[in-house]
Amino acid sequence: MKKVLLGMSGGVDSSVSAILLKNAGYDVTGVTMHLYEGGCCNLSSVWDAKQVCRNLGIEHVILDYQKEFNDIVIKDFIDEYSNCLTPNPCVICNKFFKFGLMYKKAKELGIDYIATGHYAKCEFDEKYNQYVIKKANNLAKDQSYFLYYAPKEIIKDLLFPLGNFKSKDEVRKIAADNNLRVANKPDSEDICFITNGNYKDFLEKNSSLKPNAGNIVTKNGDVLGKHNGLYNYTIGQRKGLGISYSEPLFVVGFNKQKNELIVGTKNDLYKNEILVRDFNFQVNMDLDNAKVSVKTRYSARNSMATLSKVIKDNKEYIKVKFDEPELRATPGQSAVFYDGDVLLGGGIIC
Structure confidence at residue 186 (pLDDT):
81
Over the stretch 213-234, which tens digit does the pLDDT of each residue have? Answer: 999 999 999 999 999 999 999 9
Structure confidence at residue 194 (pLDDT):
86
Over the stretch 34-76, which tens digit does the pLDDT of each residue have? Answer: 888 765 556 678 888 999 999 999 999 999 999 999 999 999 9
Q: Average pLDDT of each block of 10 consecutive residues along the chain (350 residues)?
A: 95 95 97 79 78 93 94 97 96 96 96 97 96 96 97 97 95 93 80 84 94 95 96 94 92 97 96 97 92 95 96 95 95 98 98
Residue 57 and residue 53: Cα distance in Å, rounded? 6
Topology of the domain comprising 3-117+161-195: Rossmann fold (3.40.50)
Residue 252 and residue 179: Cα distance in Å, rounded? 50
Instruction: Find out whether 171 and 12 touch, Cβ atoms under 8 Å.
Output: yes
Burial class (CB in 10 A: 0-12, 13-18, 19+), 286: exposed
SS3 category, 315: strand
Buried residues in 145-159 as b, exposed as e (16+ CB within 10 A): bbbbbbebebbebbb
Structure confidence at residue 257 (pLDDT):
96
Structure confidence at residue 188 (pLDDT):
73
Instruction: Give the start-to-end residue ranges of the domains of the chain.
Output: 3-117+161-195, 211-264, 269-349
User: What sign for the dihedral angle of Cα 270, 275, 281, 286?
Assistant: positive
Residue type at position 107: K
Task: List, by residue number, the catalytic residues.
Answer: 93, 192
SS3 category, 49: helix
Q: Apex CA 90: angle with CA 319 and CA 95, to 5°?
A: 70
**Domain 269-349 is of which CATH architecture?**
Beta Barrel (2.40)
Structure confidence at residue 38 (pLDDT):
65
CATH match of 211-264 with 2.30.30.280: yes
Structure confidence at residue 149 (pLDDT):
98
